[in-house]
Amino acid sequence: MNTTVTRNAKEVFDLLHDDLAAIEREFGRDTVSSVRAITEIGEYLRAGGGKRLRPALLLLSCKLMNYTGHGAIKLGAVVEIIHTATLVHDDIIDEAQTRRGRPAANTQWGNAKCVLAGDWLYMQAFKIAVQERNFHILDALIDLTQAMVEGELLQIERLGKTITMDEHFELIYRKTACLFSVCMKMGGILANASEADQQRLAEYGRNLGMAFQIVDDVLDLTASEEVLGKPVASDLREGKATMAVLHALEHCTQTERETIESVLSNGGFNGITPADIVAILSRNGSIDAAYARAVEFSNKAREALCTFPDSEIKRVLLWVPEFVVERES
């Protein structure tokens, strides 16, 4: 990541430092249960960190709409708890061994306890959200969780298959972008903003989330295991065809296509290396094509904010898509 992007990222998180710290404390309190295993798993997951990008977006949305109540902190914890619950379930489904450079929770406590802990986290998130006494927030969160679960089921059905680009974009909307969208929209809901402004905020989040996931999928192929905190090319090993791979399948030779499809369908590399796949993607301009599409989505995110008055927070939100596209982890 270039120096300017790194510096700007630090400035953004310095701007949100106190609120993010409050969300972290709320997260810690909200994941305590009378059942020890739930508390242990919740704390393990919280301590695993992460970018906290989703609560940061919710905070920025609230600030853009001039909302100053405590609901921003509560709902910031809610979206991070929901995100954490999805990661627990994803790791079980994917039989993941590592997450963010540490053993995945399911390798420590087993699948049964982690499934139930993930369910508990979902219910706890809704329990906290109910305290806002706002049906619009509950509607948004219910639609979100249904879309995410449906996305996971659709992905399972399509594992090992060469899906269309539209099907792929539907999957990454459901699995990632819908949460970004709801994080932004909730700032508008809390501030009692107009439906039009809420829609613009949601559109910003949706496009940002699409860009984020496309870049995430490229990094899964091109970054190092140390940076990723998990094995390189995990998506391919699990039979997931991401954008760069789908682009290559549309443009590569028959031999190259057979190489990619053998990895997708066999659930492993079997004599083919991740470097071999990356070489195919590079020859066909597929990595560049994926980044170009991510840039398109990031530009659409910026366009969604054009009607909001100029402010420091708007300028930050206009910069965030650059961070998403140019990040290296």
Mean pLDDT value across residues 119-142 = 96
Given pLDDT bands bounded at 50, 70 and 90, which one contains residue 3?
Answer: low
Tokens of 245: 């791979």
What is the pLDDT at residue 216?
94
Please report, rounded to a whole number, the percentage of residues in the chain having pLDDT higher than 70.
97
What is the pLDDT at residue 5?
57
Does pLDDT of 7 surpass 80?
no
Q: Which value, to the nearest 10 degrees, does the dihedral of the CA atoms of residues 184, 186, 187, 193 take?
A: 110
Q: Please check whether residue 141 is in contact with residue 126, taking contact to mean a CB–CB distance below 8 angstroms.
A: yes
In SS3 terms, the chain reads as: CCHHHHHHHHHHHHHCHHHHHHHHHHHHHHCCCCCHHHHHHHHHHHHCCCCCHHHHHHHHHHHHCCCCCCHHHHHHHHHHHHHHHHHHHHHHHHCCCEECCEECHHHHHCHHHHHHHHHHHHHHHHHHHHCCCCHHHHHHHHHHHHHHHHHHHHHHHHCCCCCCHHHHHHHHHHHHHHHHHHHHHHHHHHCCCCHHHHHHHHHHHHHHHHHHHHHHHHHHHHCCHHHHCCCCCHHHHCCCCCHHHHHHHHHCCHHHHHHHHHHHHHCCCCCCCHHHHHHHHHHCCHHHHHHHHHHHHHHHHHHHCCCCCCCHHHHHHHHHHHHHHHCCC
Given pLDDT bands bounded at 50, 70 and 90, which one contains residue 291?
Answer: very high
Name the more confident of 271 and 143.
Answer: 143
The separation between the first and the last C-alpha atoms of the chain, rounded to the nearest angstrom, is: 9
Does pLDDT of 8 surpass 80?
no
pLDDT digits (tens, 9 = 90+) for 26-73: 999 999 999 999 999 999 999 987 789 999 999 999 999 999 999 999
Does pLDDT of 9 surpass 70?
no
The residues near 197 (Cβ < 8 Å, ≥ 6 apart) are 65, 188, 308
Phi, psi of 160 (to 5 degrees): 80, 0
Given pLDDT bands bounded at 50, 70 and 90, which one contains residue 265?
Answer: confident
Measured distance CA(153)–CA(90) in Å, rounded: 11
The residues near 162 (Cβ < 8 Å, ≥ 6 apart) are 241, 246, 249, 261, 264
Give me the residue spans of the domains in the chain: 3-326
Neighbouring CB atoms inside 10 A of 75's CB total 31
Alpha-carbon radius of gyration of the chain: 20
Does pLDDT of 268 surpass 80?
no
What is the pLDDT at residue 162?
86
Specify the pTM: 0.94
In single-letter form, the type of residue at position 87 comes to L
Given pLDDT bands bounded at 50, 70 and 90, which one contains residue 260?
Answer: very high
Bridge-based pairing of strands 102-103 and 98-99 is: antiparallel
Quick one: which of 235, 259, 325 has its CA closest to 288? Answer: 325
Does pLDDT of 177 surpass 90?
yes
Given pLDDT bands bounded at 50, 70 and 90, which one contains residue 269?
Answer: confident
The residues near 154 (Cβ < 8 Å, ≥ 6 apart) are 170, 171, 174
- Give me the CATH code for the 3-326 domain, please: 1.10.600.10
What is the pLDDT at residue 42?
92
Name the more confident of 231 and 322.
Answer: 322
Nearest-10 crossing angle of helices 111-130, 135-158: 150
